[in-house]
């Protein structure tokens, strides 16, 4: 049997299916009569077996990618709800899943639907299979599928997306212009099996490795964002940006700190990332500053939140949404040095910022189709609620500076909190919400549970009774309260009797399934194909140096490198008074925000994310490794800085920097003084693409003005001149100009 699917960008893929391919069933037998409110368009959503626990399970904030039945129970399906309330089971209609109580070889779980912009098809993830007998250990993976036939009365068909990584868990897929698919996966950064799984930076729990891009026609695969702790639920917004939640946790390993006190996690370092690397009797870390006891005058550094991020579909221009940061969204954090009176603790109530409503995390982001550039999401605690909490709204039009982004609380702030067992919930606490879906007519739908307490199993392992029961509901505005609350349900409830081996115990459940991940099935304009461009000051330097930009990019692509440029690192955003902001380059640029201590800066010290932290002890370590920041050691071929600290480049006299860095690997950095002592530390990991030229006017990008009240610097960066002159002085780059040969070199340097 052969099926075909195609997209509007022109590729067509033939899929050869085995003789045991699913048998489609008549649609009429899998649809039920309409109930509930009339909606403007169909809603695609997931029915999921309710897992009671909330650590590394399918509903958790992180490590939610595990396919095992104990973490992602079987028996759910992909559903569509039509405007009149009619419900149809699409996976069963297409021949997937099992109607039987016992869930065995044909059992499925599904998740994460995403609709193509013409509204005729959708991507989703599905895992197939479960143990058929006690103690049987099976191996399944979440894989990507496409469903067609979403219109009412149309036959549903499902085909597996070809050429995806077959041995790994692939999740949260979405279409992007050009025929590619962007998704998250736990595939190792470079495909090395000995690095699987990547452990997160917090609990050393397996996590996904970030955002990936696949061409289904050819199998060409690219890592867009190398996330040491994981990326989650990407969407493509109307401006062509991939918007997603990223877990940002760039701090030292808390389990290694605990081991130093005798905890017994067995943390250690490998000598390098290779399969045969020596296991060292060392837990040394070099960046950032310690979490607790720090050098004199340095405050301990802790960093842990889930933030909104954006990236172009080709992986360029990755940054937090509109460069929003802790200064715009958080309530409090400490200054980096405790002996400089110019540096303050950040306290939102006295900061004078535009945003009066702090949030710590933002999950399950969705753009409002009735107000493009506005985004709904969920402020939820890290544990205990299956990533549910308070619905909030955040403006994020690309033209809006981050310091003007003000959060609106949609549901009452009490819904972000967890009520202790035995305590009385506040009257305004209407339960916990997740997966907010703003509709095209201005209505709001969400997955909601009336539960206010911590997630728990009030039954047994064999007969679970989870506290949380998520139902899709249309929200209603309570004028007296001033907030939105759960209203009428969209379905009569999806109740099933299910049994499966998990694998050593038989789990039996009779009750409602969770209703999750709703998406509106509607046609919308195709978002633009968004790419990066070279700003005028940097283009001027390339022209002055006689270097052809595209030939230079080609050389970087061939060598797996990117170029980062900043015009003046002495300028910093006016809101940031938690790290030094009176900065000067000897004999050159200086920018100050007050009359306090002036810090000299001379170098940018680069760190690359190496997967070298092991756990479980050197004798018999657990599989996989965690990412640690290490001095840049990959061969980036930067101008030498012999007096600088390891992995550093010298700053230009105008405060500029330019450096070649490894692509598709998490990178971070810090400004140091002439002796190599840290002055200003980066707080995020960044990933760059081969051939990317990434320009930031300032080191901490300005929102409106810098600490001296000045706008973005527009100088042609001197450090870029130095780097390009060094690049031209090298040999003919036999490995870098294989495709263009001598003619490309001649064009590039004008020689």
> pLDDT digit string (tens) for 89-146?
999 999 999 999 999 999 999 999 999 999 999 999 999 999 999 999 889 999 999 9
Q: Say if CB 250 and CB 683 are below 8 A apart.
A: yes
Render 385-426 in DSSP notation, one character per residue.
STT-BEEEEEE--TTS-GGG---EESS-GGGGS-PPTTSPPP
pLDDT reading at 701 higher than 90: no
Query: In the prediction, which pLDDT does 507 show?
Result: 96
pLDDT at 734 over 90: no
- CA 155 remoteness from chain centre: 34
> Do residues 170 and 183 lie in contact, with contact meaning Cβ atoms separated by under 8 Å?
yes
Q: What's residue 733's pLDDT? A: 46
Cβ–Cβ < 8 Å for 510, 497: yes
Cis before residue 503, ω within 30 degrees of 0?
yes
Q: Is the pLDDT of residue 743 over 50?
A: no
The 10s digit of each residue's pLDDT in 261-275 is 999 999 999 999 999
SS3 541: helix
- CA–CA gap between residue 622 and residue 614 (Å, rounded): 7
- The count of C-alpha atoms lying within 13 angstroms of the C-alpha of 469, restricted to the half-sphere facing its C-beta, is 13
Buried b (16+ CB within 10 A) or exposed e, 632-660: bebebbbbebeebbebbbbbbebbbbbbb
Q: Which sign, positive or negative, has the C-alpha torsion 434, 435, 436, 439?
A: negative
Environment class of 221 (CB within 10 Å of its CB; exposed 0-12, middle 13-18, buried 19+):
middle
- Those residues whose C-beta lies under 8 Å from the C-beta of residue 217, and which sit 6 or more positions away, are 11, 13, 163, 179
Asked whether the predicted pLDDT for residue 746 surpasses 70, the reply is: no
Residue 387 — very low, low, confident or very high, per pLDDT cuts 50/70/90? very high
Tens digits of residue pLDDT in 431-442: 999 999 999 999
For residue 295, what pLDDT is reported?
84
Name the nearest CA neighbour of 406 among 391, 395, 392: 395
**Cα 280 from chain centroid?**
31
The dihedral through the CA atoms of 424, 425, 427, 431 has a sign that is negative
Q: Could you please report the per-residue DSSP string of 417-465? A: S-PPTTSPPPTT---EEEEEEE-TTS-EEEEEE---S---BSS-SSS--
pLDDT for the residue 731: 76
Question: Is 1 a residue whose pLDDT tops 50?
Answer: no
pLDDT at residue 518 tops 90: yes
Q: What is the pLDDT of residue 23?
A: 60
669 pLDDT band (50/70/90 cuts)? very high
- pLDDT of 739 > 50? The answer is no
pLDDT for 642: 95
- DSSP 8-state symbol, 323: G
Give pLDDT tens digits for 351-384.
Answer: 999 999 999 999 999 999 999 999 999 999 999 9
Point out which residues pair with 390 in neighbouring strands: 379
Cα-based distances in Å from 472 to 47, 71, 412, 444: 10, 22, 18, 11
Residues 27-55 pLDDT 10s: 556 899 888 899 999 999 999 999 999 99
So what's the pLDDT on residue 7? 39
How buried is residue 488: exposed, middle or buried, by Cβ count under 10 Å (0-12/13-18/19+)?
Answer: exposed
Residue-wise pLDDT tens digits, 325-358: 999 999 999 999 999 999 999 999 889 999 999 9
Strands 332-333 and 346-347: antiparallel
Q: What CA–CA distances, in Å, run from 328 to 297, 325, 570?
A: 26, 6, 21
**pLDDT of residue 742 exceeding 70:** no
Confidence check: pLDDT of 430 > 50? yes
Closest of 590, 616, 734, 576 to residue 264, by C-alpha: 616
Angle between helices 718-729 and 536-544 (to 10 degrees): 40
Mean pLDDT of 168-182: 98
- Taking only the tens place, the pLDDT of each residue in 546-604 is 999 999 999 999 999 999 999 999 999 999 999 999 999 999 999 999 999 999 999 99
Cis-peptide, bond into residue 288, ω within 30° of zero: yes
Distance CA 368, CA 213 (A): 25
pLDDT of residue 751 exceeding 50, the answer is no
Q: Is the pLDDT of residue 427 over 90?
A: yes
* Closest by Cα among 460, 433, 497 to 52: 460
3-class secondary-structure state, position 549: helix
Average confidence (pLDDT) over 627-636 = 96
| Cα–Cα nearest to 6, from 157, 112, 141 | 157
pLDDT for the residue 219 = 97
Domains of the chain (ranges; CATH) run 2-252+288-520 (2.120.10.30), 536-749 (no CATH)
Share of the chain above pLDDT 70, in %: 93
Prior bond of 197 cis (ω within 30°): yes
User: Model confidence over 306-326: pLDDT tens digits?
Assistant: 999 999 999 999 999 999 999
Task: Check residue 104 and give its pLDDT.
Answer: 96
CA distances from 378 to 350, 362, 415 (A): 25, 5, 10
Mean pLDDT score across all residues of the chain: 93
Residue predicted with more confidence, 33 or 246: 246
């Amino acid at each position: 049997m052969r099926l075909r699917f195609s997209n509007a960008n022109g590729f067509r893929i033939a899929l050869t299916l085995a003789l045991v391919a699913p048998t489609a069933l008549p649609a009429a037998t899998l649809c039920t009569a309409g109930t509930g409110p009339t909606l403007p368009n169909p809603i695609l959503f997931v029915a999921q077996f309710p897992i009671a626990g909330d650590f590394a399970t399918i509903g958790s904030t992180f490590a939610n990618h595990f396919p095992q039945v104990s973490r992602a129970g079987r028996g759910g399906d992909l559903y569509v709800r039509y405007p009149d309330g009619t419900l149809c089971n699409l996976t069963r209609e297409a021949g997937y899943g099992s109607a039987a109580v016992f869930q065995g070889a044909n059992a499925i779980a599904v998740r994460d639907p995403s609709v193509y912009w013409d509204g005729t098809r959708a991507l989703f993830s599905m895992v197939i299979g479960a143990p058929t007998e006690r103690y049987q250990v099976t191996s399944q993976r979440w894989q990507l599928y496409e469903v067609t036939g979403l219109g009412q009365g149309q036959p549903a068909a499902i085909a597996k997306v070809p050429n995806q990584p077959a041995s790994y868990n692939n999740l949260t897929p979405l279409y992007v212009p050009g025929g590619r698919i962007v998704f998250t996966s736990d595939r190792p950064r470079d495909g090395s099996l000995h690095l699987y799984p990547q452990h997160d930076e917090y609990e050393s729990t397996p996590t996904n490795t970030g955002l990936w891009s696949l061409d289904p026609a050819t199998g060409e695969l690219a890592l867009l964002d190398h996330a040491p702790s994981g990326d989650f639920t990407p969407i493509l917004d109307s401006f062509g940006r991939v918007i997603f939640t990223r877990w940002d946790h760039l701090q030292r390993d808390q389990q290694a700190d605990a081991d130093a006190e005798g905890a017994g996690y067995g943390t250690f370092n490998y000598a390098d990332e290779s399969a045969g690397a020596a296991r060292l009797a060392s837990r040394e870390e070099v960046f950032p500053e310690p979490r607790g006891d720090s050098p004199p005058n340095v405050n301990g550094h802790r960093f842990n939140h889930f933030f909104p991020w954006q990236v172009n579909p080709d992986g360029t221009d990755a940054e937090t949404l509109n460069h929003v940061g802790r200064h715009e969204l958080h309530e409090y954090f400490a200054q980096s040095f405790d002996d400089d009176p110019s540096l303050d603790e950040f306290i939102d109530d006295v900061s004078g910022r535009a945003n009066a409503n702090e949030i710590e995390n933002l999950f399950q982001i969705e753009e409002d189709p009735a107000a493009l550039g506005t985004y709904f999401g969920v402020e939820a605690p890290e544990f205990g609620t299956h990533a549910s909490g308070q619905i909030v709204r955040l403006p994020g039009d690309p033209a809006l500076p981050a310091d003007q982004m003000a959060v609106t609380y949609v549901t009452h702030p009490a819904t972000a909190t967890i009520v202790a067992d035995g305590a009385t919930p506040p009257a305004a606490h209407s339960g916990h919400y997740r997966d907010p879906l703003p509709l095209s007519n201005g209505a709001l739908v969400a997955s909601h549970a009336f539960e206010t307490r911590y997630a728990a199993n009030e039954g047994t392992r064999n007969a679970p009774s989870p506290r949380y029961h998520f139902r899709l509901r249309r929200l209603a505005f309570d004028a007296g309260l001033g907030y939105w609350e759960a209203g009428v349900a969209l379905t009569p409830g999806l109740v099933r009797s299910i049994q499966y081996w998990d694998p050593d115990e038989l789990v039996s459940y009779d009750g409602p399934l969770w209703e999750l991940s709703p998406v509106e099935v509607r046609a919308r304009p195709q978002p633009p194909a968004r790419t990066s461009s070279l700003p005028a000051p940097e283009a001027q330097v390339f022209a002055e140096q006689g270097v052809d930009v595209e030939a230079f990019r080609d050389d970087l692509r061939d060598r797996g490198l990117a170029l980062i440029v900043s015009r003046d690192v002495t300028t910093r955003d006016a809101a940031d008074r938690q790290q030094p902001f009176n900065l000067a380059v000897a004999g050159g640029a200086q920018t100050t925000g007050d009359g306090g201590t002036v810090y000299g800066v001379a170098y940018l010290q680069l760190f690359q994310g190496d997967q070298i932290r092991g756990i479980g002890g050197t004798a018999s370590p657990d599989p996989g490794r965690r990412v640690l920041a290490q001095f840049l050691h990959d061969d980036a071929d930067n101008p030498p800085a012999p007096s600088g600290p390891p992995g550093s480049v010298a700053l230009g006299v105008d405060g500029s920097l330019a450096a070649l860095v490894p692509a598709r690997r998490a990178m971070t950095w810090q400004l140091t003084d002439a002796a190599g002592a840290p002055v200003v530390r980066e707080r995020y990991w960044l990933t760059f693409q081969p051939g990317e030229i990434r320009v930031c006017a300032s080191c901490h990008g300005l929102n409106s003005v810098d600490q001296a009240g000045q706008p973005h610097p527009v100088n042609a960066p001197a450090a870029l001149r130095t780097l390009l002159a060094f690049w031209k002085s090298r040999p003919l780059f036999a490995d870098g100009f294989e495709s263009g040969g001598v003619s490309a070199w001649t064009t590039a340097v004008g020689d």
